[in-house]
Structure 1
Amino acid sequence: MYKGLLLIIFTLPCFGMSLQEIVNSFDIVDTVPRLENSVSYIDNVALRGGQTQDQSSGDIDSEVEVRLSLKGLKEQEQLEQLYNNQQKRLEADRLTSLNKELGLVYRLFLKLYFGKTEVEKLKKLKVIFQDEIKVLNVYIKKDNAYISDLISAEKKSHEVEKQLTLKQKELSRQLELLSALLEKKLSLNNIPQREKLLSLKNLVKTIREEKTEIIRENLELERAKLEYEIEVGDNSKLFDFIQFDVDRRNAFSDTNDLETRVGFTIAVNLPFLREKSKVNEKFINKLKAEYTARYEQKATVATLDQIKTSVLSNAQSLEKLLESSYLATAKKYLKTYQRSKGVDPLKLLTLNHTIVEGEVEQAQLTSQLYISYISYLEERGVLAKYPKKNVIASNFREVLL
């Protein structure tokens, strides 16, 4: 009986899933299909054969013709490189897609994780303001000077209630999105109360020590260059095809003697007479790829700099809040007043709502910090590099980049 009860308890959805478990449960396509490699030294083969018979003499002529178009060694190497480029591009597309999907999973989890804390604090804040309103209504009966305080408390209570409603709707939508990504029905109970994340100090250290300048293999530029070189080589061919002919016929019409003739033909091109539009088009594509690669490199650096600035700015705001004197003072006097007798309840409530407001802001700033850090890792391609690991865990020790 007890075993069955324990089994039921531990299979209920009220137990949270860690970020590592969520990352593990995300369906990842580990392999990409192998493209067909049809590279061959022989470009195409044409075979023609036939027989003709002279009606008057009855003589039969037999003829066989084989035509081969061949590739040169250099062209063969270029086509092999192009095939490898195609396979790499397929893999790169998969990693790019995976990186974006994992980025979305991380962001949704972080919004839910810190949003859950924010909702709890907002509910607590709502109760505090409601208690303040009750106390002030009692005070007003004795002294009208508390009217402005009552109006202020009612206004803050309304704002908190509005903020709470919006946050709950936001979390509900984010749960739907995360459930769809993981193909698993989730609730807020599945989001853990505590997750060991990378510390603020180590996060800032990682960002500051990373070099913004990155060099990536530009596969689109490589493809454009190869296609141009292949087209130039094809346009400059001196030999078009090789042809072999075998012809058997009667040597003389009045005898049965057969004569075999073997022919060998090499078709020669005149490159300067060939049409150049395809070569020109490939040249334009190559230049376009070069310009795009230059721009993308600079744009990537600019984007990373912008994200790093955002991460450090969020970290600085959080550090200032954690180090702020007003929160420390409020906590100090709340503790003192709670041990004292005859303390004005309004003072206790004011200190309480000051502290909880700070905790709400802390949850918001911490969420912004980790989400901006995930954007940084996504831009660097780190998420796809470690698809089954929680890269923002406190115990993550791999070199990120």
Structure 2
Amino acid sequence: MKLANEDPRNSTRIHKGRGAASNLAGRFAVQVSARESDGWQSEEEPLERLLTEAIEEKAKTIISSNRSPDLPFSQSVNPYRGCEHGCIYCYARPAHAYMDLSPGLDFESRIFFKPNAPELLELALRKSGYRCTPIAMGTNTDPYQPLEKEKCITRELLEVMQRFNQPVTIVTKSQLILRDLPILAEMAQDRLAQVAISVTTLDNDLKRKLEPRTAGPSARLRTIEHLSRAGIPTAVMAAPMIPALNDCELEAILKAAKVAGAEYAAYILLRLPHEVAPLFRQWLSTHYPERAAHVMSLVQQSRGGRDYRSDFAQRQSGTGVFAQLLRQRFRVAVNKLGLNLRELKLDCTRFHTPAQAGEQQSLF
């Protein structure tokens, strides 16, 4: 087991453009150590620039199955592990611990990409036992994070899905999705595509601290506008709602998204599983020390006295007075704005297996 020590990223000083304040050891680390000052050095050394490392991963499978009753999809595809966006609250951070890496700065600077993902997807869709249901993308890490501009794996996955008439749903914070607007617009005409844009805040200063390498609020609203104008069913994800930090913006986010063209909306209460809780506490004490205790008090009031509870019945929206009020506010705002008026069902009946090169076409 590699030690989670002697790494400049273990410092709790902020790296420019990064979300986590440290390289907190994962929960499976056997030994952990940290640097301590001996008092001889009066000034701190300047932090080295933390570069992103792209690591190739040869995946064996690409479609992940889901049986969680609180999630609206049964299968998903994730072309990347880790996410350079650096959102401090990201519930996918703990997954890096399985690779003996930190859910902290490692998660946002050591990104695994799967170049064989499109090939694996085509093989999976061609299996005789495959049963078509919508494939969700963006359920773990953002499929349009910065590395996608170079690798184009998400683009190639969409091209495979389009050939098979495989329905897809996408959640992203990135305006890079507009690169694939022609593909998504064509699929949407056949009820094969839906997109949700995550808008956490309309405050640029908070965005820079909370989600350092993501598109700004105005860029995300413009993305909603472009997607909607292209005929793509578009939703806004007001997520996560963080007590005493951005929850006051819920109605404003929903209204701005509606004006931009969103037809659907959802929200999620802040989730702090495993290592995300101490990382978020570090972040709070660094950026908002005066309200850190209040934020965590409201979080715990909404999670049965803990930082987090994973029960399917309440992990998305929480329990208690604050969580109940947030649900009521969301319901009132959605009704007032005319969001979620109709249910969108993607069409799985169009799925077909295209002929391969040299394969004889059926006459019927």
TM-score by length of 1: 0.19
Q: Which has the higher helix share?
A: 1
TM-score by length of 2: 0.20
| Greater RCO, CA 8 A, separation 6+ | 1
